[in-house]
Structure 1
Amino acid sequence: MSTVHSEKNFDAEPPLKEEPPVLAEPPRFGYRHPMFQILLVSFICFACPGMFNALSGLGGGGQIDATTADRGSTALYSTFAVMAFFGGSFVNKLGPNLSLTIGTAGYTLYIGSLLSYNINGDGKFNIAAGAILGICAGLLWTAQGVLMLAYSTEEAKGRYIAIFWAIFNVGAVIGAAVPLGHYAKTLEDQSVGNAVYIAFIVITGLGVLTTLVLAKPATVRRVDGTQAVVPVSQSWTLEILNVGHALVADPAILLLFPFFAASNWFYTWQFNAYNLALFNPRARGLNNLLYWLSQIIGAGLMGVFLDAKGLNRRARAFGGWVILFVIIMATWGGNYSIQRTYTREDITPEFKIDWSAKSYPGRAILYIFNGITDAAWQTYAYWIIGAMTNNARKIAVLVGIYKGLQSAAAAVGWHIDGIKVPYMNIFGATWGLLAGGMVIALPMILTRVKDHTDAEDDTLGGVDAEGRKVGEGAEK
């Protein structure tokens, strides 16, 4: 009998590799369901970055002269760039929830500084608040990216991104409606009133409070039952070194750097060189509302395509690139047809058009397409990051790099507008970076995005998505 027993052992199937733990049943929709948590995160960004975007979209943060807001934005995106680049390390150490609480507080402070400027005309507080907001925003956007991508399964990342982006931009739409109502009956150029800033401060405060009711990420499981965020305790040194680990382990990420950098650069031209320069207050306010409303369409369409079940993930990655490239070239070709008709020196109150002008509908439609391309770009960028990893800690590092490069480029964009660089120069640099970023990223997208992310390859600093050191697992 012992011989038979040994033969059975010899012929037996080798032990299967341990899989991530799966619940007997998918989680029911409720407080700890991943989609409910993403809805809460979406509302937080609705209330905080959404209100910030509504003011930014008016040009000059709601002021007639964009100089002060440009300086504040330069300070904001400079600190944002540094903080976000290492934001993954901070979020991994502090946790997404605390990072969101700290991050949202900066938006209330910043909008308060614009109110202060309206009252006393001193821009120093706005610059300081911008620098503080940059630090806070680095934490908020990295934490948001971690939860949005980690809570979703591979086949649902596009939908999660699109749902977040739609709700987040509803905040900007509602925020844009407030100053539009303020401007609707006037043709004179004037700054946003104190009441508008106060309303935005109240809304951002609600966003801060909402961060306190988020579930602990370690208690949330994806719809397939797997744990989404596994807490791993590492030193600050190791967390910061993880940025280098990610780049060394996957140097193809470097090809995404220009694509990442382009993703906020275009706001300078759209908001200041187009919307602020060409339209009077009420037309500008309507454009602002249409811009953020169009983002819901752009994110929704791109998200649906990126989750299309009839195509494998590699095909969706390339197809998404083609769609994005075509709409970018078409939209910015239209932008060029307008930009070549004016210079910075032409801009006077009399030069700006009202929504009753014959030329307004065409220019408003073009601005809508600018909003669609923005949302499509951001959705595709997040989806590519999500296609590269399911490891929440690695997601934090990659999202941090994305937001860091995005913000560094934005700081340059706002600075060159602040020093009055010709509009055509800003336009050319923007279109060139958009096109160049896409072309340079294509080889990485074609070679690095796989139909499924292999668990054995999805590590960061020797730790896998389940919080285990490489080499641990089956025997444990």
Structure 2
Amino acid sequence: MATEEHHPVTWFRSTLWAALLGSVTALTCPGIFGALNGMGAGGGASPDITNAANAIVFGTLAARSPFTESLINRITPKWALCIGTLGYVPYAAGLYCNDRFGTNWLLLFGAVCIGVSACFLWVASGAILLGYSEEHRKGRASLQSLGASIGGIVSLALNIEKSWRGSVSTPTYIALMIIMCLGFPFAALLPTAKRIQRTDGRPVQLAQQASFLKEFRVLKNMLKRPAILALMPLWLYGQWFLSYQWQFNFAYFTVRARALNSTLFYLVGLFSALLMGQILDFERFSRRMRARIGFFLVLFFVGASWILGQVVQVHHSKTTPTLDWSSDGFGLGAFLFILWGFSDPFVTTFMFWLGGTLTRNLNETSFLAAVINFVGSLGSTFGFVVSAMDVEYDWACVINVILFFVSVPFTAWVVFAKVTDSSHGKSLAGLEGDKSSSASVFETPAVLPVVSIVPGEKGNVK
């Protein structure tokens, strides 16, 4: 068997260096965003304005998701990644000012900024990891969840004595904002596509750009497909749960316990996303078999987490505890929160992978990712609106239970009736061979995942 020729590369222009910069940027910005919100109420003492701000964040994401890919096609991934880092610090500063001084305007302004910038960051980082890299390096784990865990560790270390309810300390906000500020210089170090050197000798080529009208036609035709419509309940659920889970951590735990829970939540999530990715990549099984294994794993772990969650929520609604790690009853509540952290990435990894099995047409893949992100962001928006309306926790939990189990039969239909062992030549919108309608930054599938999962036949985790 012929071996691929290896070409020498300069380290600071290598695909590995580019992927590292993209991943570290994800660590410093969305990773720390996750750390702040994973503690509930953005680390503060009151969730009211934070829920409204997060509704704005994800609402802005939803509004921009279908159109960001086309813009990034025109400004290149490097500058899109730089733009993507700019909204996080104003948001974190707004959380701090709101908690300490009662100032609302900066938090709401920061929410809009992060909603706009996050769209650029996710499409750009996905394009870098998929479009720059050689085939054997695509689709590996990013550092976003690790960044959230690091943020949780920082929060825990700076609030280790806070065995009561309240907000995190001022140094916590300052330390996390400093980490967020590092995102822009890391992004600015990224080589441009023309300067990237690949070990296989192939250049990174930008695809020919289509008109907005043609790209809109791709999106319109895609949304007519029954399989796409059938997966929308799962995509809607796929980010709705964030608001309730973060609220649960805020409502029933002390400051230091919230920081510990958040750290473990993202650590186990990193492991479970990698695990699901490896299962969906296990090519000794047919793709149909992998789809069914993934479906039953999601059904078991996510279903069990919400059944247990409903039981625990009913109990906590009656007793309204404030749990510290030295308290009786802490173990069950913490286990539930960590179980959510483990099972949530099962859903997000599987839903992107499953969507990717429906087409191998490169003109459609980036739009499919954008649609998934759009529907998921709508779910997050509605979830935070529910939290901002002070809906009782019992009912907020019930909504999540209903959303998940309603999505199960529709997802099962796609898994058992629509997934085939090969999608070569399949097109959701009838665009085989239409190179003029390419929507990808590179001649490879692009992604737009807030959840940091790469769509496509492979189930790897970005």
Q: TM-score, normalised by structure 2?
A: 0.85
1:389 is displaced (CA, Å) by 4.3
Instruction: Determine if contact 1:89/1:236 at 8 Å carries over to the other structure.
Output: yes
Q: What are the Cα deviations for residues 183-219 of structure 1, in whole angstroms up to 9, with x where unaligned?
A: 2112232222332222222212222222223344577
Once the 2 structures are TM-superposed, how far is the Cα of residue 140 of structure 1 from its aligned partner?
2.1
Residue 76 of structure 1: CA displacement? 1.0
> Residue 70 of structure 1: CA displacement?
0.7
State the secondary structure of the residue aligned to 1:105: coil
Match of 1:179 in 2: 155
Aligned position for 1:474? none
Q: 2-side partners of 1:402 and 1:464: how far apart?
A: 23
CA contact (8 A) 2:243 2:383 kept: yes
Q: Give the alignment partner of residue 260 of structure 2, picking from 276, 286, 289.
A: 286
The answer to whether the aligner puts 1:270 opposite 2:250 as a matched pair is no
2:329 is matched with which residue?
359
Alignment check: 8 A CA contact 1:142 1:399 kept: no
Alpha-carbon distance in 2 for matches of 1:226, 1:205: 34
Shift of 1:311: 0.6
Sequence identity, in percent?
A: 27
- Counterparts of residues 440-455 of structure 1 (less than 5 Å): 440-455=410-425
Measured in 2, the distance between the counterparts of 1:395 and 1:28 equals 32
Deviation (angstroms), 1:236 = 3.2
Q: Secondary structure at the match of 2:223?
A: helix
Q: Are the equivalent residues in 1 in contact too, given 2:94–2:110 (CA < 8 A)?
A: yes
After superposition, residues 161-180 of structure 1 pair within 5 angstroms as 161=140, 163-164=141-142, 167-180=143-156
Q: What secondary structure, in the 3-state scheme, does the structure 2 residue paired with 1:86 have?
A: helix
- Superposed, which structure 2 residues align to 1:44-55 within 5 Å? 44-55=25-36
2:395, 2:429 → 1: CA distance? 43
1:210 to 2:190 alignment: no
Find the aligned partners of 1:63 and 1:153 in 2 and give their Cα distance: 43
Alignment counterpart, residue 349 of structure 2, candidates 379, 383, 386: 379
1:229 Cα shift? 6.0
Residue in 2 that maps onto 1:14: none
Give the SS at the match of 1:144. Answer: helix
Contact 1:291 1:367 in 2 (8 A): yes
Counterpart amino acid of residue 84 in structure 1: S
Counterparts in 2 of 1:47 and 1:392: CA distance versus 1, 3 Å = farther
Work out the CA distance in 2 between the residues paired with 1:467 and 1:337: 50
Q: Is the 8 A contact 2:360 2:424 kept in 1?
A: no
468 and 76 in structure 1: CA distance in 2 versus 1, 3 angstrom threshold: closer
Q: Tell me the distance in 2 between the aligned counterparts of 1:178 and 1:262.
A: 30
Which stretch of structure 1 is more off in the superposition, 180-189 or 86-95? 86-95
After superposition, where does 1:363-442 map in structure 2 within 5 Å? 363-390=333-360, 393-442=363-412
2:211 to 235, 239, 261: 235
Residue 141 of structure 1, CA deviation: 2.3
Q: Deviations over 1:10-54 (max 9, x none)?
A: xxxxxxxxxxxx995366785566555433322111111000000
Greater shift in the superposed pair: 37-46 or 167-176: 37-46
Query: Per-residue deviation at 1:136?
Result: 1.5
CA distance in 2, matches of 1:362, 1:380: 27
> For structure 1, which runs of at least 5 residues remain unmatched after alignment?
1-21, 470-476
- Given that 1:104 and 1:208 are in contact with CA atoms closer than 8 Å, whether structure 2 keeps it comes out as yes
Structure 1 CA distance for aligned equivalents of residues 432 and 82 of structure 2: 30
Contact 2:211 2:437 in 1 (8 A): no
What is the identity, as a one-letter code, of the residue corresponding to 1:418?
Answer: A
* Alignment check: 8 A CA contact 2:360 2:427 kept: no
Which residue identity lines up with residue 312 of structure 2 in the other structure? I
Aligned to 2:47: 66
TM superposition shift of 1:155 = 8.8
Closer, same or farther: CA 23–129 of 1 in aligned 2, 3 Å: farther
> Which deviates further from its counterpart, 235-244 or 417-426?
235-244
Quickly say closer, same or farther: Cα 1:170–1:77, change in 2 above 3 A: same
| 8 Å contact kept, 1:298–1:375 | yes
User: SS in structure 1 opposite 2:357?
Assistant: helix
TM-score (norm 1): 0.82
Aligned residue runs from structure 1 range 133-148, under 5 A: 133-148=114-129
In structure 2, distance between residues paired with 1:183 and 1:126? 23
**2:5 aligned partner, one-letter code:** E
Q: Residues 440-473 of structure 1: CA distance to partner in whole angstroms, max 9, x if unpaired?
A: 123223444333342574888666579889xxxx
SS, match of residue 136 in structure 1: helix
Equivalent residues, number: 437
Letter paired with 2:336: L
Matched, 1:260 2:235: yes
Please tell me whether the aligned partners of residues 230 and 466 of structure 1 are also in contact (alpha carbons under 8 angstroms): no
Question: Which residue of 86, 89, 101 maps to 2:82?
Answer: 101
- Residue 8 of structure 1 corresponds to none
- Between stretches 136-145 and 107-116, larger displacement belongs to 136-145
Retained in 2: the 8 A contact 1:74–1:414? yes
**Partners of 1:447 and 1:227 in 2: how far apart?**
39
Matched, 1:319 2:321: no
Q: CA deviation at 1:148?
A: 4.3
Distance 2:15 2:360 in 1: 15
In 2, distance between residues paired with 1:271 and 1:150? 34
Bigger shift: residues 167-176 or 377-386: 377-386
Equivalent in the alignment of 1:310: 284
**Whole-angstrom distance in 1 between the partners of 2:403 and 2:124:** 27
Asked if 2 retains the 8 angstrom alpha-carbon contact of 1:189 and 1:281, the reply is: yes
Question: What is the distance in 1 between the residues matched to 2:134 and 2:412?
Answer: 24
| Structure-1 residue corresponding to 2:302 | 328
User: Kindly tell me: are residues 275 and 304 of structure 1, through their superposed partners in 2, closer, same or farther at Cα, counting changes over 3 Å?
Assistant: same
* 1:25 partnered with 2:11: no
Classify the secondary structure of the residue corresponding to 1:190: coil
Distance in structure 1 (CA, Å) of the matches to 2:128 and 2:288: 24
The answer (yes or no) to whether the contact 2:90–2:109 under 8 Å persists in 1 is no
Distance 1:468 1:182 in 2: 49
Distance in 2, matches of 1:259 and 1:222, equals 37
Equivalent position SS for 1:48: helix
Code of the aligned partner of 2:354: I
Partner amino acid, structure 2, of 1:398: L
CA RMSD in angstroms comes to 3.1
